[in-house]
Structures are given as C-alpha cells and as structure tokens.
Amino acid sequence: MGKKNLVMVGNGMAGVRTLEELLKIAPDQYDITVFGAEPHPNYNRILLSPVLAGEMTIQDIILNDHSWYAEHGIKLHLGKKVSRIDRVLRRVIAEDGTEAPYDRLLLATGSNPFILPVPGNDLPGVISYRDIGDTDAMIDAARRYRHAVVIGGGLLGLEAANGLKLRGMDVTVVHLADWLLERQLDQTAGRMLQKSLEDRGLKFLLGKQTEMLIAGESGRVAAIRLKDGLQIPADLVVMAVGIRPNTTLAESAGIYCHRGIVVNDTMQTYDPKIYAVGECVAHRGVAYGLVAPLFEQGKVAANHLGNYGISRYTGSVTSTKLKVTGIDLFSAGDFFGGHDSEEIVLNDAAGGVYKKLVIKDNKLVGGVLYGDTADGPWYFQLLRDGQDIHEIRDHLLFGQSHVGDVGHQGHSKAASMADSSEVCGCNGVSKGSIVKAIKEKGLFTLDDIKKHTKAASSCGSCAGLCEQILSATIGGAYTPAASNRKAVCGCTDYSHQEVRDAIRAQHLLSIDAVMRFLEWQTPDGCDKCRPALNYYLISTWPKEVKDDPRSRLINERAHANIQKDGTFSVVPRMWGGVTTAAELRRIADVADKYQVPTIKVTGGQRIDLLGIRKEDLISIWKDLDMPSGHAYGKSIRTVKTCVGLEHCRFGTQLAMAMGVKLEKMLFDMYAPHKVKLAVSGCPRNCAEAGIKDVGVIGVDSGYELYVGGNGGIKTEVAQFFVKVRSDEEVMEYAGAFLQLYREEGFYLERTCHYLERVGLDHAKQRVVEDEENRRALYGRLLAELKDAKDPWAERIAGVEHNEYELLSV
C-alpha cells in the first residue's frame, strides 16, 4: 500500500513543529507537501524583535532551512498562497494554479494583523509587525527617516518601539488603554514599565485614539492625528493593535469557523480529514497566540495524523514573559483578582521591584512580577497544576528558594549569571552554551536543552536553572510543561499518562511492544523508562504480564539495599513490627554465621542486617527462612504499629492486630513508589501515622484514616480521608485508595505527589463517596494479591550456593 498524501497550508512555527512530531513517530506514512505564502523557509517569529534591534540576522532565526525539507522528502512551495480547497476531490489550489491532492489536510494559516479602519491606513509607510517583510521595511525606514509612531502598547508594539529606538529613530507609542500591556500587567506594573521605558528615551501617549493618518507631499505618511486634535509627525507608522485568526481559506471551503477554525481535542475540524493548528485555530472557544500552546496542539495533531490516537489537547493556561530594554516582566492567570480572592503584594518602587500574587481557595490563580521574575516559572507551575499552597503561603512571595524545593535551589540567580558560569556540573555546560543553543537551534523546552546541550540530562539538579535561562531567553514563548505532560525520560517525548493510555488502548503486553508502538528513540530504553514501563504493564494487565527482571534496579534484583561500600543491607519482614523469639534466634544465628558487622533496628520497626557480601545473599535468605521486608522495592514496605489496646492503658483499638492484617493483605503489592503505613491505637499517635502514605489512628468509635503523608526529604503531613468503624472498613478504604494510586500514579510518584496532582477531592470521590467504585477497586487489589508469595523465596528455592546469576541480570 502506497503512502498517503498530507498537504499543509502554512509554513510557520506551529505547522512545521507538527510535521517534526509526525516525522518522529510515523516517518514513512505520508508524502508531504507544504505551501508557504512567504518566500522564506520556517523561521522563529519570536526572534523578529532581536533582528529589528540589530542583535540577530534573518539567517540566525531560520529554524528549518531548505535542506531540512529535502532531507525528509517534503515538497515545498514557497511564495505560493493557497486560494481554494476542493473538499470533494480533496485537493488544494494555489493562486498561481499549483495543485496538490490530499488524503489529510493540515491548516496552519496563522493570523493576520488587525489594521485600524481609519483614513490613511493604506498610505506608504504604514505597516504591521508580523513577519520578515515587515521587519525589513522597518529596518529600511530607520535608515531614511526620523519619526516613528507605534500604535499599540502591547507586547509587539513595545518590541517594535524598542527596536526602532535602537535603530536611532524618535519613537512615540500611542495606546488606547490607560496603561501599557493592560492585558498582561495590572496598573501598578504598567506604570512602572512606562517610567522605565521613558527613562530610555521612548515617548508615550496613553488613553489616546487615532483619528486619521495624514500624507505628506510625497504621498507617504507624514503625521498621525488623534481624536483629541493632537497631531504628531510620523514618517513610519507601525500598527500593533492585535491579530485575528486567518480563517479566510477555511471559511471559503465551508469549514466551520467561529473566532477561528473550530477544532476538537484531537485538532480535527468539522471535516475529519482536515486538521488545524496554530493561531488560526479556535479550541473550546479560545484562540492562542503564544508558541507554547501551539506546540502542544502540534504534538496532538501529529499523534492523530500518525494514527496513534492517544493524545488530547484540552487547552492551555498561558503566561507572559517579556524582556524589553533590560526590564523583566512576568504575568499569568487571573492577576486582577476579585472579591472572592486575596492578594499578596510587594511594591518597592524605588528598587524597581513589584510582585503581586492572587490566591483563591488555597491555590495560586494569578500573578504579576516586575523587575524580579526569577520565580515566574515556579509560580506558573503552581498555578497550572492547581497545587494547594496553604502550607507555604507565608513564604510564597519570597520565592522557591525560601520554600526549599530540592533540585531548584539557586535558580533565581540565572539572570545575573555570566555566560561563562557553569550551569551543569555533570556535563560541564555553561550558561553561554545553553543560550547559544536556544537561539541558534530554536529550542523551546527543557527537553530540547537536554538533547542539544546535555545540561540537566544527568542528575537533573540544574533543571530549574536551565528552565529559568530558557524563560529569560525566549520570553513568552516558554511555558513550563504541566507536571502530567512531562516526558517519561529522554528516550521518548510521551508523558507518563500518554504511555499508560497507549498500553491500555492498544492492549500492549510487553516493554518491546510499547517501545515499538510509541517509536522509542532509544532502542532498549534506559534505567528510567524501563522500570516505569514494566510497572505500567503489570499494573494495567496484572493477569497477562509477567515481571521483567531486566527492568528492575540492582536493589530489587538482589532483594537487598546496596550500601556505599558495595555490601548489602538485608531486612526480613516482621508483620506489623511484631516478632517472636524463634525469629530473633534465627536472625542472631545468621548474624553469627555470616559475621554481620552491624545490626540495627530501623525506623519501620524491623531489624536490618548491614554489611552483607553479595555472594552471601542467597544463603542468608535461605537460613533466615523469613519473607523479605521489601525494604528496597517500589512496593509495600512496612506497617508500623504501637502496642495499642493490647497492652497500652491509653489504647482504644487493637493497633498491632490491625497492622498485621494490613501488612499481610498488602504483601508483595507492587506500586509506583514505596508505600508505608502505620496504625496507632489512640490519638496520641505513637506510630507516627500522620506522615505515612496511609495512616490509621484508633479512636473510641473506630478509626480515622489519613492519606498522602511522607517523612522524606520534604515532610508532608497526611490529610484526613475518612472515619470508619471496623477493621474490615479500614482494609477496604485503605486498600481501595492504594489501588487507585496504583492505577493512576506515575512511576516514582509518592502518594503525596499523586494527591498534589489529582487532588484529594478526586481520591475521596472515587473511594469515599462512590461505594460501587470503592468496592471494585478493593476487589481488584485483593484479586491481584490473593496468591501473593515472596518472589525472592521462590527464586532462591533450589538455587545452589554458588549460583549468582539472579543477582547480575
């Protein structure tokens, strides 16, 4: 069967990014034809401002030169504007008569600048600011004329004004609103920006409306008259008053348009053979003008054009980051607030710093930063993910470094770092190298930086700093990915959720099958993705998929924790922390026989044998004749208990018995990350149930269950989940919650981070409020664990003392 024909109308950033994504996953599916109205190959429209300012050239901002199209067999028609789509015969026709048939059509027609309907708007010297042609016209005018007027004090208008000023022109900005960037800044920040720009020589007329443009003796524009009668000289007038989706071609073909070409979540128009992406699109009633959401659209469109069918575009929360004449600005969300929200404000006019954060229902919903935008990406991540910020509210205004998020320390210094400063110590990458790669290669994401510079690709501790450099370099084009959309690793562009969806939708049953279907970029994966894929396969198809030993890390293969000196730590299981004299004697005998140098009681009420040689592991487990404590695994670790009503005069419930029941029920439970439980027999909480993944606290009338606690690097207090009366209900509710986490959690995501992502209300709705779903979850958990046996005990059964192949897989 021959290739299908894919035709793309439009050769801009969103459309070509779609082709790049499609070529990654389905390189041989289509013969591709591209029509571009401009005479240039795909270029970085975001960097037109540096070209205007004289900092870069046109060649510097080309993203895909002619050789790229040729290399991928793409037939490129430049300078040819498509005038008609024949949806019956499925072909497109350009103005010069060039035709191309299609099986699938991708519309990426972009947007048109809005031209004010005033007399004189068609005079020579009156231009918009959208493409290379406009930029060349402004550069030429700056060589020959003196007075420039920019109509519009938005992002493009200020960038145009700044570039023309640097080119030596006398520049006045006329703006209808009362302050600059009224859609991106509040009035305080807008006024601060105006003063800073005036100090740099720009002039502003705010709250003014253009009445007409006046021609000079040569017929070229010579002046602009405002409705209040004021007239100012203008040898060049740049209209930067907004854009409109370019829907002319689509509408002429009968494709439904309303504020843009209307598409669904798969980027299909009302004609299922025609897709659309970019500024021409209206998705759920919204048209986007920033690059980040358009690239998200392109990735989804490519996924469906490639017949994968597992991605959805559900809309974007956008942010604005502008760097003009050395002034840093950032805004996102609803930064104006209202009667049902509260504001945290820092206003240091003398120091040139202004911060305003808007909070509603313990969530950050908007913010404006002026002068110090270092924490902009972090604030935007909090906003986009809808994270609960009540515990860090008092420190929120002072930034991420005051909260102490590991892995992002020091990222606020990015703006002041010298180009020679080292960013990535693992790979020896400087800030200058990263900035150069961003500009020359057109990088827009952290993953792009990893691929092209290797920064942040090893330990990852510099990822936050790399994101800040990226944000500072490309401004509003950068939007940090939502946490649930980040790629699993560098071997793929697909997120954890997309991988899980593909495994279920395509009934994939092996790691190799997943990698083939999703076109894994590294043939055999890596130590990050293989364990994740192994977990997703087992948790999705528990009765059909077998564990893959190759996809386990050394601790899991050895059933012991490797220590810094190369020896191992062995922790036998003691149900609920309860043991017997016979077990203790066996442990003591093993310690004597193998000359164990260190024996320690763990925080989870177990006994740890430290300093075990690798060659003794199999024999030690045989001699212990006890189940593994799985102290190394992404699984149930321990259920910690107090002595409870069994012995304590304050106890209200049988804590030890309850702990043993839970631990035996959950034995050998594979999970996205380690899982720890605790049962306290009374509210005095001696078992520290308040910082466990599931904490059970006995009260007079039953038990209180808490979920999502974590006693790790950053302690998270567990949240109240439900109150129950009986042991059976404890097991049902706790088991259902953990099964929900197993089915929805991402690999290496603790329960606290899972709840942070999906929300406690989601878990309560699925487990506490929906009885039928709770019982179904609990039933699936019990069915998967009913035949649970210690896998290590099975694997060492019959293995001779000198056979260690199990440890070196």
Numbered residues of the known binding site: 642, 648, 682, 686
Q: Write the CB contacts of 226 (distance below 8 Å, at least 6 apart in sequence).
A: 174, 205, 208, 209, 210, 211, 232
SS3 651: coil
Give the CA diameter of the chain: 108
Write out the E strands in 189-242.
203-206, 210-215, 221-226, 231-233, 236-239
> Which uninterrupted H or E stretch holds 475?
none
**Locate tokens 């892995």: which residue?**
407
How many degrees, rounded to 5, is the angle at CA 157 between CA 155 and CA 159?
A: 70
| C-alpha span between 732 and 718 (Å, rounded) | 19
Rounded Cα distance, 663 and 791, in Å:
16
Coil, strand or helix at 576: helix
CA dist 562 → 102, 213, 569, 806 (Å): 58, 77, 6, 15
DSSP string, 720-772: EEEEESSHHHHHHHHHHHHHHHHHHPPTT--HHHHHHHH-HHHHHIIIII-HH
Q: How far apart are CA 313 and CA 159, in angstroms?
A: 30
List the structure tokens of 533. Answer: 């894929």
CA torsion 154→157→159→165, rounded to 10°?
-140
User: Residue 776: CB partners within 8 Å, gap ≥ 6?
Assistant: none
Answer yes or no: are the C-beta atoms of 370 and 329 closer than 8 Å.
yes
Write out the H or E segment, with its range, that includes residue 708.
none
Please report, for residues 154, 385, 564, 748, the alpha-carbon distance to residue 712 in angstroms, rounded to integers and kept in the order given. Answer: 46, 22, 20, 13
Q: Are the CB atoms for 282 and 245 separated by under 8 Å?
A: yes
Give which of 140, 196, 234 is closest to 354, Cα–Cα: 196
Name residue 174's beta-bridge partners.
151, 205
Q: How far apart are CA 780 and CA 743, in angstroms?
A: 10
Binding residue positions for [4Fe-4S] cluster: 642, 648, 682, 686
Tokens of 692: 């466990």
Give the C-alpha separation, 594 to 617, whole Å. Answer: 10
Going by the annotation, the residues of the binding site for siroheme are 686
Q: For the CA atoms of the chain, what is the radius of gyration?
A: 31
- Token pair for residue 11? 């050769």
The answer to whether 571 touches 608, Cβ cutoff 8 Å, is yes
Q: Using alpha carbons, list the distances in angstroms from residue 372 to 49, 321, 396, 474, 679.
A: 22, 11, 14, 16, 47
Residue the block writes with tokens 């989940």: 721
Nearest to 93, CA basis, from 31, 32, 9, 15: 9
How does 302-313 read in b/e, with b if 16+ C-beta sit within 10 Å?
bbbbbebebbeb
Q: Which residue type does 673 have?
A: H
